[in-house]
Amino acid sequence: NAKPIEARYITRLILGELRIGIGEGNIRDAVAKAFDVPAAAVEHAFQASNDLGEVAVLAKSGVGALETVRVELFRPVKMMLARQGTIAAMLEEERVLAAEYKYDGTRFQFHKKGSECRIYSRKLEEVTKAIPDVANMLLEATTHDAILDGEVIAIDEDTGRPLPFQYVLRRFRRKHDVEGHMQKIRLVPNIFDIICIDGRTLIDEPFSERRKILTESVSRYVAPQIDSDDIGTIEAFYRSALADGHEGIMIKSRSAHYTPGVRGKEWVKIKPAVDTMDLAVIGAEWGEGKRAKHFGSFLLACRDELGELIPLSKVATGISDDMLDILYEMLKDIVISESKNTVTFEPDTVFEVGYAEIQKSPTYEAGYALRFPRFIRLRDDKSVEEIETLQSIEARFAEQTKRLQG
């Protein structure tokens, strides 16, 4: 008996996506103001617990209660994120930098207590049963109760080189015939951070100290790293990463704390220059010819200031036949409407898309369009909440215009 507007918000409540322009930052500030505690204390407690409800209850008792919050085993926290940047700019901020390979895989968080372990995806979903081989590798290699942060990649058995991201995806999404796919696709974890050890929370320790604890606590699978103050040395490390088949390198501040869910300036990714953005898949058109039984092109959206999804571009180029198979199996069950040759999806999927430039356009509601959009990869590790915003696209367009005008 719900009215249309009531039905809309009942549905959004069920999906956990109200889209009313209120984010975690708004709730944090409201809790801080309501109970007269510093917003920084609320934020720190939330980073450790990933539970705003619990934090709000503790805030009622004051700062002291918030300071008791610790990272706990088997309660995953959001993963620290990186931004794009340059080696030179990072060296201006810090004299000596840490550099690691940037892997084309899937981020994960490993929790171990005694003989029990669990693995969580970037979306904080447990995936232990899908990759039991990785769980066993890390269980044997980790000598303490701990929470580890890393990336798992697929390896070609013949060459030892990394395989494309979609091979990892096939393992992570697997619910049936896990054993069979373990034999077909070999996964290798790469650990680059430690968040907790033997009940001690490490997010406030500098990265150099966390790295020391990590190498002392994990016997294998620790990601290679160099420390250097020389741009030439770091650039040579970058070239070796590309030669080994990896995406690039990560540059990290050795003094940085671990800030869950934050894309700060302390971690920077260095990759070959290609402009990309992450966008939500909200619809598709059926393909033609040999692709007639698959979705052929996809409608992509960004988020506006209220969190609403607004169309920005379509993409069809760069998607292999194998990936079209994967996408069809993923998306066919979340079709919410269909009209002639087009379908609309429940917004749950994220694409990374490359493009030549951003153009103003009346075609899409966003007011912009991507010129020569090209599918880069499926971002199964990202949620729709993490996609590009209209504000950031406007900033990119302004920077692009400035660059083109010299």
- Supply the residues annotated as catalytic: 102
Do 43 and 29 meet the contact criterion of CB atoms below 8 Å apart? no
Which amino acid, 105?
Answer: G
DSSP string computed for 65-100: HHTT----TTS--PPPEEEE--HHHHHHH-SSEEEE
Q: SS3 for 23? A: coil
Nearest to 156, CA basis, from 198, 177, 184: 184
The Cα–Cα gap between 23 and 36 comes to 20
Instruction: Give the largest Cα separation in the chain, rounded.
Output: 68
Written as six digits, the tokens of 320 are: 């292999």
| Residue 270, burial from CB neighbour count under 10 angstroms (0-12, 13-18, 19+) | buried
Written as six digits, the tokens of 35 are: 């109970």
Bridge partner residues of 270 (DSSP): 249
The Cα–Cα gap between 285 and 341 comes to 6
Long-range CB pairs of 224-230, under 8 A, 24+ apart, other chains included: 224/100, 224/101, 225/98, 225/99, 225/100, 225/192, 226/98, 226/99, 227/96, 227/97, 227/98, 227/99, 227/254, 228/96, 228/97, 228/99, 229/91, 229/95, 229/96, 229/97
The Cα–Cα gap between 224 and 245 comes to 15
Nearest to 104, CA basis, from 406, 405, 378, 391: 378
Do 31 and 55 meet the contact criterion of CB atoms below 8 Å apart? yes
Virtual torsion, Cα 54, 59, 64, 65, nearest 10 deg:
-20
